[in-house]
Amino acid sequence: MRAIATPLWTAIPSLARPKAPWICRQCLRAPERPAAIAVQTTRIDVTSHILRAKGARAFSSSTKTSLAERTGKITWRERVRLDSKERRRVAIGVTALFLLGSGALAFSSEARHIYIAAERCGRVVVTLYLNIRDYLHILKQQDSPTFQADLSEVHKRCAQRTLKAMEKNGSIFIKLGQHLTSLNYLLPSEWCETFIPLQDKCPVSSFRSIEQMVKADTGKSLEDYFSEFAAEPIGAASLAQVHLARIRETGEKVAVKVQHPGLDEWASLDMWLTRFSFRTLKYWFPEYDLTWLSEEMEVSLPKELDFREEAYNARRTKAYFANIPSHPLIVPTVLWAERRVLVMEFITGHRPDDLEFLDANGISRDEVSAALARIFNEMIFGTDAPLHCDPHGGNMAIRLKDPSKRSAKNFEVILYDHGLYRDIPLQLRRAYAHMWLAVLETDIPSMRHWAYEIAGVGDEEFPIFASAITGRDFSVVTSNVVTDRHSPDEQRSLSESLGQDLIEKLVGLLARVPRVILLVLKTNDLTRSLDENLHTTQGPMRSFMILARYAARCVWDERKEEVKKEGSVWWPQNMFKLGIAALAYAKVAVKLRVYEYWLSARRVVGLSNDITSATGIL
């Protein structure tokens, strides 16, 4: 028999290569593994060896162990493969984290907006509900002997509750509260006094938010426009604040008016809440309809929030009064404007009621009062004149006259904040002039006629309308002493009248009056308040005379236009009509001039002009 050749290393045991035993993965994971046994074979069954090798490969395809697991060492290929896997895991993790973070941020921003909106709505709705509940409860106790005292307590409680809601919501609610403060002829005194803190409750936006807003609106940063920009505002109001800056190209010092960035987010919602509140009040108290307030705000607020409108109004007013050099009015020059950014010439001065400044610089209070009266009556009665509808002390300033200018006066009036303007229709302007001439002449039938022309006011509502126009009790309007100061008896009479059914009638009347007339009344009220704060020596009489002069000029212009429409003014009939109109105007002008000289003479000799004998000045 032929012997099978045996490999040398099997024949000689010392040359045999040690073979590592194969151990399954399960055994490797066992807590105790037997020590590897070196097997030295002298004779190998080729067939079994091959089968064993194939089985091992087949098994290892599913449970393959790496060299690291077998020897504890990592080859460079495995290291690369491991690093690649780790990088993929890290990349996937970072990407997932970024996507989750972005989604969470977007969701949280949206959720935050919804939460704050719900919170703002909730404050208004809860406050409205509690106030209505309190008033419905107290109105059921009108027969109680303590009704008036209890009603006053309800007024205070509801006003305080409303004040807190307005302060927390901010935004245009501050503006609304400031406006309600001036409605002392409509609202109970408890409400007006409670809202007084809102006059100084003006928010201040952060410098960072201003930077972001300017970048969003203009596409450029503050540094692109200005070499200097003060981080702290020099003044703040309910809708905007003003910063000092210096133009980069020219070095000119300017005032930059910027809108509070938060207004954009909440203005629409707040207007809806305001409208909802007044409509709800009207539903429960139909006799107290104040929806005209929200309607006026819906018209005015979008214009006030667009500074391009303000820039247009300022330029128009500056151009209009440039043709009337006798009026010492200064309007800062607008350099450029965007929707929420306005850059204008920086001009500073002192408040009109800064009596210490006026007296220290020899500026006559009477002349300041007269200048203000001429400026705003020109706006009311002047042909195509723009009407500034917010002339309070914070929107004006007085400064010493520029020595280079020719003027008999030693001061100038600076007019700021041109956001709220109106144009009075020509026919309404003329009807209003006729109404005032009738008031100053104490012509009751004529007053009734023009009251109907202006607002459709009937005989029953006429006394209320006359009081609203003049700001005086009707008994004063009909007694030829409308030019005097408010006496204690008149103030008491007004308070008693407002405590009865007069408020309900006045509210109903104001709901029907043309909106522009409401703004004219507001302008008149504010200018009267300025005059009172100046403590002039001539009282309100000179202001009324100035008003009469402008009203008479307006009527004279109307007469001339009517005559021209009928043909040539050289026709005898038209010349006669024109002469009659000229005589009527001259009559008023002469009376006013004589009366003004008389007041000046009394002031020179030290007599008070706060008198009650000045009746029927026209």
Segment-wise mean pLDDT, segments of 10 residues, the chain, 618 residues: 47 50 53 44 44 45 48 52 61 64 59 86 95 94 91 95 93 87 81 86 89 94 96 91 96 96 90 94 89 88 94 97 92 96 96 92 91 93 92 88 80 94 93 90 89 86 80 66 49 47 71 82 79 78 83 89 77 78 78 72 62 44
535 assigned to some structural domain: yes
- CA–CA dist 182, 93 (Å, integer): 62
Cβ–Cβ contacts within 10 Å for residue 475, how many? 15
In this prediction, residue 533 carries a pLDDT of 83
Asked if residue 533 and residue 567 are part of one domain, the reply reads yes
- CA–CA dist 118, 78 (Å, integer): 58
Domain that holds residue 34: 8-65
Tokens standing for 76?
């460079």
94 assigned to some structural domain: yes
In this prediction, residue 78 carries a pLDDT of 53
Quick check: is 390 catalytic?
yes
Asked if residue 54 and residue 115 are part of one domain, the reply reads no
Asked if residue 517 and residue 455 are part of one domain, the reply reads yes
551 assigned to some structural domain: yes
Asked if residue 564 and residue 456 are part of one domain, the reply reads yes
Asked if residue 191 and residue 151 are part of one domain, the reply reads yes
- In angstroms, the Cα distances linking 361 to 300, 326, 406, 603 are 38, 21, 18, 20
121 assigned to some structural domain: yes
Asked if residue 128 and residue 21 are part of one domain, the reply reads no
Listed residues 138, 165, 200: the one ending a domain: 200
Q: Which of 289, 390, 484, 531 is catalytic?
A: 390
pTM: 0.74
580 assigned to some structural domain: yes
Asked if residue 124 and residue 50 are part of one domain, the reply reads no
Asked if residue 87 and residue 37 are part of one domain, the reply reads no
549 assigned to some structural domain: yes
Asked if residue 141 and residue 59 are part of one domain, the reply reads no
- CA–CA dist 60, 275 (Å, integer): 79
- CA–CA dist 434, 446 (Å, integer): 8
In this prediction, residue 494 carries a pLDDT of 46
Asked if residue 452 and residue 587 are part of one domain, the reply reads yes
| Three-class SS state of 258 | strand
609 assigned to some structural domain: no
Asked if residue 93 and residue 58 are part of one domain, the reply reads no
| Tally of structural domains, the chain | 3
Cβ–Cβ contacts within 10 Å for residue 588, how many? 23
In this prediction, residue 217 carries a pLDDT of 92
Strand partners of residue 400: 411
Listed residues 200, 233, 264: the one ending a domain: 200
In this prediction, residue 536 carries a pLDDT of 81
498 assigned to some structural domain: yes
Asked if residue 439 and residue 561 are part of one domain, the reply reads yes
- CA–CA dist 177, 237 (Å, integer): 13
- In angstroms, the Cα distances linking 426 to 506, 513, 533 are 26, 16, 32
